[in-house]
Amino acid sequence: MATRAVRYAVIDAFTDTAFKGNPAAVCFLEDGYQVDDEWMQSVAKEFNISETAFLTRAVSGDNPRFNLRWFTPVDEVDLCGHATLAAAHFLLSYGLVKCDVIEFATKSGILTATKVYGIKQSTLFNVKDENFIKSNGEKESFSIELNFPVCKVVESDPGEIPSIPETLNGASVINVTKRGSSDDHIVLPCPSLKL
């Protein structure tokens, strides 16, 4: 069982405004900090938001790598975009890494987060970097770009498709495909659909 304090933050992904976007908790487990799956699940349940990310340092140096796991309040998941974005933001914004590229070792493979300078508008994060000062003395803004694995998509068997139009309140659907490695369906609604 964990007995030491844990550094954590709740970070709103896909926004630069507090209490907007998609929140994720990020817990940084310092070197040597040992916890089990039950403890992580209990912490995620306590936060009670869609995802809680747990980070541990795997490799230090110029290109740091962190182990990253994601838990909902009820189960561990194999991949979560907004919690990965929150984890990268946490590491970059709190000065825990001094580089522009972070690697995450996950159940879905190696994911990368890259600090990108010079983007005026972003749907991700727009952060003032305390370590990068422009020649006029202003702090440079940066965004975070994520690189995720590509999932193979296959056609869905019509018998496998649940009653999607009913689920979407009668909305028209253009296409339904299935993620090749799971039973997850990907639904492409008509462009005029407002969910």
- Cα gap 16→126, rounded to integer Å: 6
Could you tell me if 12 and 20 are in contact, meaning their C-beta atoms sit under 8 angstroms apart? yes
29 closest CA partner among 3, 52, 7, 1: 7
Residues 6+ away with beta carbon under 8 Å from 166: none
Residues 6+ away with beta carbon under 8 Å from 195: 168, 171, 189
- Active-site annotation holder among 30, 38, 46, 51: 51
In angstroms, the Cα distances linking 76 to 51, 106, 112 are 9, 12, 20
Residues 6+ away with beta carbon under 8 Å from 60: none
51 is catalytic: yes
Q: Which residues are catalytic?
A: 51
